[in-house]
Amino acid sequence: MIANRTLELLSLLQAQKEWTGDGLAERLGVSPRTVRRDINRLRELGYPVTATKGPSGYYRLSRGARLPPLIVDDEQAIAIALSLQTAPASVAGMGDATKRALNSIRELLPPHLARRLATFSIEQIENAWELAPPQVDPGLVAQLSAAAQQRELVRFSYRSIELDEMDDSEVLAEPHRLVVWSGRWYMVAYDQRGNSWHAYRLDRIGQMAPTGWRFSQRDVPERDITRFVQSQPDRGDTPDTWPCWGTVLMECPAALVAK
């Protein structure tokens, strides 16, 4: 019980810059005296928690200090292992980074949780029946994510696909949210010049540049963001022609062929 409360207290301190003692006590459902004891417990574990006294006093988790071993429960350790080992392969250069991240986190965990995490070793197998998702630049993901959070207009060239023709056009858009669907990355954004909402494929975005201009929040026309992305006409893979044609006669069950 105490360990779970300590985890929750640490999570609260990481989620918000400053907390009053009464605020923490209310969130944790304990007395202010218990909060003070739990804060001292975190300090004994090496977490740099600072406090100011007085009616307007607050607790704060200091930045810039090296934190001690991570405190996570068994379910969180399993979630970390599974998430990193099954991370989408559609972001370029992330394969080695996810492995390094898993090793770094393992080094920070207490021994018993590190052993538990090591028991989850997963090997992903590529599905030859599915088209591999195009890779996107992690720098572009970071730029668009920051622009959406800060409500900053972005300008970029976009390779749209209409039938078999491909055109590069410049877009001035208000980024709303990044979405990953079926391994493909999309940016749901409002096109200021066309006065319309679109789901832009990140692998088709080029020459992206922030403008420094801010925009006001808008409501996406479709409340279900997944349905909105799926309803876009230009969301699939690039159409291509086969280099050769042929006929193959196979003796297989219909259920297998249908897959």
CATH number at residue 176: 2.30.30
Same domain as 151, residue 202: yes
Q: What is the CATH number of the domain that holds 50?
A: 1.10.10.10
Contacts of 74 (CB under 8 A, 6+ apart): 113, 116
Same domain as 80, residue 55: no
* Distance from C-alpha of 14 to C-alpha of 45, rounded to nearest angstrom: 15
Beta bridge partners of 155: 172, 209
Residue 256 lies in a domain: no
Higher pLDDT, 54 or 134: 134
Q: What are phi and psi of 174, to 5 degrees?
A: -100, 105
Task: Please state the domain count of the chain.
Answer: 3
Residue 22 lies in a domain: yes
% of the chain surpassing 90 pLDDT: 14
Instruction: Quote the pLDDT of residue 165.
Output: 46
Residue 108 lies in a domain: yes
How many C-alpha atoms does 172 have within 13 Å on its Cβ side?
Answer: 9
CB 203 within 8 A of CB 135: yes
Residue 129 lies in a domain: no
Domain residues for 111?
A: 74-118
Residue type, 162: E
Instruction: Quote the pLDDT of residue 156.
Output: 93
Instruction: Quote the pLDDT of residue 164.
Output: 41
* Distance from C-alpha of 235 to C-alpha of 231, rounded to nearest angstrom: 8
Three-class DSSP category at 164: coil
Beta bridge partners of 167: 160
Instruction: Quote the pLDDT of residue 151.
Output: 93
Residue 238 lies in a domain: no
Average pLDDT over residues 100-123: 73
Same domain as 224, residue 156: yes
Mean pLDDT score of the chain? 79
pLDDT tens-place string over residues 145-203: 989 989 999 999 988 765 444 456 789 999 999 988 877 889 999 999 989 999 999 98
Give the range among 65-74, 122-131, 210-219 with minimum mean pLDDT: 65-74
Beta bridge partners of 189: 175, 198
Average pLDDT over residues 222-248: 76
Instruction: Quote the pLDDT of residue 9.
Output: 83
Average pLDDT over residues 110-139: 73
Tokens of 245: 């044609």
Residue type, 218: R
User: Does residue 67 have a pLDDT over 60?
Assistant: no
User: Does residue 210 have a pLDDT over 60?
Assistant: yes
Same domain as 78, residue 54: no
* Distance from C-alpha of 180 to C-alpha of 178, rounded to nearest angstrom: 7
Higher pLDDT, 71 or 40: 40
Residue 57 lies in a domain: yes
Instruction: Quote the pLDDT of residue 60.
Output: 85
